[in-house]
Amino acid sequence: MSDSLTAAANAAAASISNSGTSTTGTTTAAAPNALAQLGANFNQFLQLLLTQVQNQDPTAPTDTSQFTTELVQFTGVQEQVNANTSLGQLIGLQQSSQVLQSASLVGGQATVVSNQIALQSSSGEITFTGTAGQQVGIAIVDASGNPIRNATITAASGTNTWHWNGQDNNGNQVADGAYRIAVETQSTNGTASAVPFDVVGTTTGVSTTGTTTQLQLGALSVPLSALVSVQQ
């Protein structure tokens, strides 16, 4: 069972995407550009409209209702872009407020949801809920999906804590960083299944990426929404 759990955990860890979970917003940057482009298009439209009026056949003038409809449409789009610009400014203010409020988290021990473990000062930690006697396989891999550390433990009932001392399977110390990790157990039908877990580390910073406030646990960056708890 130990070997099968180790293999399943390694496969699960290796399959984790390197793309991460952070998102990058473009609303605040795009709105001014869209407004500038709309303004240029609107001026061109007015020039074409005046040219058309000046050169229309006096005996068969163009229907003015068509001009009015187009003007209303342009005005509606312009108001929407202005609204988006204002919304982007409000989001920016909210982000600043979140960063200031989250600054108090720096230095505290944070528990977050992540598929990467934060190795800080040669120490990493995860927690998970288990049942008494449950066999659990843990695998940590590098950025290429190569196994670094494997462990098989017997869980206790309730909350379990597993600590990594930063050593690989050969006893060599690896560099601090964020490493992909998977936790697996064996189901009643004999197949491996993922065990939900949380990552524990020290909060070292707060930043914004696009429209998302990020917490830094050393090299690990997670959105503020991934925060489970924090202890000062």
User: Which bin fits 194, alpha (ψ -120 to 50), beta or left (φ > 0)?
Assistant: beta
Q: Please give the pLDDT value at position 221.
A: 93
Confidence of residue 7 (pLDDT cuts 50, 70, 90): confident
Q: Please give the pLDDT value at position 158.
A: 95
* CATH fold for the domain made of 2-21+115-195: Immunoglobulin-like (2.60.40)
Instruction: Give yes or no for a contact between 210 and 98, defined as CB atoms under 8 angstroms apart.
Output: no
Lowest mean pLDDT among 9-23, 94-108, 155-169: 94-108
User: Which bin fits 129, alpha (ψ -120 to 50), beta or left (φ > 0)?
Assistant: beta
The tens digit of pLDDT for each residue in 54-70 reads: 776 666 666 666 666 76
Tokens of 227: 């925060």
SS (H, E, C) 72-85: HHHHHHHHHHHHHH
User: Measured between alpha carbons, how far is 18 from 166 in angstroms, rounded to an integer?
Assistant: 20
User: Measured between alpha carbons, how far is 151 from 118 in angstroms, rounded to an integer?
Assistant: 17
User: Measured between alpha carbons, how far is 107 from 168 in angstroms, rounded to an integer?
Assistant: 27
User: Which bin fits 185, alpha (ψ -120 to 50), beta or left (φ > 0)?
Assistant: beta
Q: Please give the pLDDT value at position 190.
A: 74
- Domain coordinates of the chain in residue numbers? 2-21+115-195, 25-113+199-232
SS3 195: coil
First to last CA, the chain: 40
Nearest to 148 by CA among 179, 106, 186: 179
- The average pLDDT across 27-42 equals 54
Confidence of residue 119 (pLDDT cuts 50, 70, 90): very high
Confidence of residue 100 (pLDDT cuts 50, 70, 90): very low
- Tell me which residue has tokens 């000046």: 54
What is the overall mean pLDDT for the chain? Answer: 78
Q: Please give the pLDDT value at position 225.
A: 87
pLDDT surpassing 90 at residue 195:
yes
